[in-house]
Structure 1
Amino acid sequence: MASLISLRSLVPSLSLFFLFFNLSFPEDGRSLYLKHCADCHHEDRIGRTAPPLLPEFLRGKSEDYLFRVIRDGIPASTMPPFGFLHEKEVKALIDFIRKPASEVVYGLAQIRESYRRAPGRGKDLELRNRKNLTVVVDKGSGSVWLIEDLRVLDRFVFPNVHGGVKFSPDGERFYVPSRDGRVAVYSLKEGK
């Protein structure tokens, strides 16, 4: 029958159509960024579990270097390869991350809004000697451990730790910064 067209005869034509369509209309850099990068680098490019992608942080990086990192990834890191992107798409991404970002507003109102107190009561850590206290960050599990000698005093989850803990001058509290801008405050008196 002349009206019936077999699927097998359409495959080559459709393949060429979709290949042409995909190459002719690459996505813009912002769309590509939101689709492939924002989960790790944040929608505003300020960093989340991966570094910020702002011009200030990319100043010393060549276009060739950025191209290779996007296409090939970074071995032994959380940066996967995006080899499936076409050359034009990678260049659109690079152009996008090289442009200044829109201003991120993070004033006192946003800080107060983001403040969360740990639920429930703290626990008695039975800390014998503060000088023997060790705070360990396990980046793999996102856990922070409080250890004195061989005893585990406490453990809590705080993902994306960046740089390690910092103690207050009086040694009563320590602060745990994260890549996405959050800071956990742990009170040794309150046990939370």
Structure 2
Amino acid sequence: MPKTAILILMMTAPAVAGDLTPERASELERLVLQDCGSCHGLTLKGGLGPDLRAETLAGRSAEVLTDIVLDGVPGTAMPPWRPLLSEPEARWIAEFLLKGNAE
């Protein structure tokens, strides 16, 4: 494969959650605490939406949580965020919640 083709593939490949800039990670943290907090409670202990603290999410995979962030939960108030977030961003949020960083 020519070097230019490899370079193009690398530039167009989606970023992984760990590749987000510190600025974007900070924006996503604010989104979790403010936007998610508006339904899940400002301390994420639950409200209209369920508790999002790490101990409550234990046993859930990052993949499942990423899908929930991206596609929402039909029949509930949980909207799909896919129009606003990339998959790596949603994965970052899932990992952030699982690590308990929002507490």
TM-score band, normalised by shorter chain: 0.5 to 0.7
1:62 offset after TM fit, Å? 1.1
CA distance in 1, matches of 2:59, 2:98: 11
Partner residue of 1:152?
none
Partner residue of 2:24?
26
CA distance in 1, matches of 2:95, 2:69: 13
Deviations 1:13-60 (A, max 9, x none): xxxxxxxxxx86524342120242010011211011110001121112
Bigger share in strand = 1
Bigger share in helix = 2
CA distance in 1, matches of 2:93, 2:31: 7
Alpha-carbon RMSD: 2.0
Deviations 1:52-73 (A, max 9, x none): 0011211121111101100000
Runs of 4+ in 1 over 6 A off after TM superposition: none
CA distance in 2, matches of 1:92, 1:74: 19
Partner residue of 1:51?
50
Higher relative contact order (CA 8 A, sep 6+): 2
CA distance in 1, matches of 2:31, 2:94: 10
The gaps in structure 1 that reach 5 residues or longer are 1-22, 103-192
- Are the equivalent residues in 2 in contact too, given 1:26–1:88 (CA < 8 A)? no
Q: How many residues align?
A: 80
Work out which of the two has the higher radius of gyration on C-alpha atoms and give 1 or 2: 1
- Are the equivalent residues in 1 in contact too, given 2:46–2:52 (CA < 8 A)? yes
Partner residue of 1:142?
none
Partner residue of 1:81?
80
- Are the equivalent residues in 2 in contact too, given 1:32–1:93 (CA < 8 A)? no
